[in-house]
Amino acid sequence: MPAHAPRRRLLAGPLLVCALAVLAALAPTAGPAVRTVGDSTADSGVDPLLDLIVTRIETGDVVARAKWASRGPVEDPAREQVVLDAARAGATGRGLDPDVVAAVFADQIAASKVVQYGLFSDWTAEPAAAPAPGTDLATVRPVLDRITTGLLDQLAATADRRDGAACGRTVQDAARHAAVRAGFDELHRSALARAVRSLCT
């Protein structure tokens, strides 16, 4: 059995299309965190930001599937630079420090690659578990672009909460609860830990 079983069964066909539509709908709104029954955790003030980060990590599964089907590499420096340039431009327009925001987005890219490399490792070790061809990157990238906008908005909205001695504990607690809500496995929890490294200023 692969060391990093996917958090959920990889989607295919119409279900995958629906999933991408849901991600696209969530990204620009950056709404409040979804609470499950019995979750009495108080809103930390950074939950919407963490939920968007979780959503971006989840797209890593879809990106991995697309790259696997096309035999494309995980590394894509040109695309990464596009994302970082957009993050810097968005930071300037929102009164944020471009270097700080670029560091946050570099972490999001690294987190996605944690997922992609983990899944590639699983599929290489157990080819029968590899996904059938599905969506392509041209479908996924507009979703990621909309998540980028949502993340920029939430970084601006949470600037005060992310500045101070209490930020580290706040972010770690919020990340732990977000991982539980998302049902993340070890691989995706590792990606989430990577994604939140630079949130505190």
Tell me what the mean pLDDT of segment 164-191 comes to. Answer: 96
pLDDT recorded at residue 79: 95
User: How confident is residue 17, by pLDDT bands cut at 50, 70 and 90?
Assistant: low
Tell me what the mean pLDDT of segment 119-126 comes to. Answer: 97
> At residue 167, does pLDDT exceed 90?
yes
Pick the more confident residue, 85 or 8: 85
pLDDT recorded at residue 33: 39
Kindly list the domain boundaries of the chain, sorted by start residue. Answer: 45-195
**For the segment 82-110, what is each residue's pLDDT rounded down to a tens digit?**
999 999 999 999 999 999 999 999 999 99
Give how far Cα 78 sits from Cα of 5, 61, 84, 116, 151, Å.
29, 20, 10, 17, 21
Cα three-residue angle 10-14-18, rounded to 5 degrees = 80
Pick the more confident residue, 138 or 23: 138
Domain 45-195 -> CATH class: mainly alpha
pLDDT recorded at residue 11: 39
pLDDT recorded at residue 38: 38
- How many Å apart are CA 67 and CA 186, to the nearest integer? 22
Pick the more confident residue, 21 or 167: 167
> At residue 26, does pLDDT exceed 80?
no
Residues above pLDDT 70, as percent of the chain? 79
Give how far Cα 58 sits from Cα of 51, 91, 158, 168, Å.
10, 24, 22, 23
